[in-house]
Amino acid sequence: MVEEEEKKLFREFVGDVQPLNPSGHHFKIPVDRNSPALVSRRLAATKMTENSDDFLAGEEHVPRVKALDTLSFKRDGVQHGVFRRLKQGAYVVESSLDLHRLTVVQSRREIQAFIRDCVAHDIRCSSITHGKGEHRETPALLKSCVNCWLPQLSDVLAFHSAPRHSGGLGVTLVLLRKSERKKEANRLRFLGPESS
């Protein structure tokens, strides 16, 4: 009885109101995509993904290359002469990673750790042996993964398939970003101690 009286009082108070249609319209408030809050959230999300161990695409999302394709990538700002020297195999390879007999998941983990270690030890040029994958069930799978993953790693400035004398199409030469320590050493070397 009390419940009925409360309902009646409520209806009198609210008046002539109709319930919304369950499939009613949803109002969307326009948001500026370049607002400082959204930009900082996007940057934080990107950093979080880069720091996680599995931000590189899985094999199902990797565009396929052919076994005899040449891999080549150059980030903006890399000088043409530097890239040409990399293509010719003119840089000393200071560290190598061999992916033979590794799965795609293992290879992804190894590449991330390898690139991190190279940068930490001031290695500028390294090589990754992935093979051509000519006689596999899924041809050039690891080669395709390397081609897809390396540009996603911010420390990789450029890469190119090795010349024939350095392993050919089954090996990729990788040029890495200088560490801050190496940049400072270069500044001191070229400008002299009086610049600091």
- pLDDT tens readout for residues 44-60: 655 544 444 455 666 66
Q: Is the full-model pTM beyond 0.75?
A: no
The H or E element containing residue 144 is helix 141-149
Q: Is the pLDDT of residue 14 over 80?
A: no
Architecture of domain 61-184: 2-Layer Sandwich (3.30)
The H or E element containing residue 87 is helix 80-88
How much is the average pLDDT of 18-30?
58
pLDDT at 29: 56
pLDDT at 49: 47
- Tell me what the pLDDT averaged over the chain comes to: 82
pLDDT per residue over 135-184, tens digit each?
Answer: 877 889 999 999 999 999 999 999 999 999 999 999 999 999 987 777 77
What is the rounded distance in angstroms from the CA atom of residue 183 to the CA atom of residue 187?
A: 6
Contact 145, 123 (CB under 8 A): no
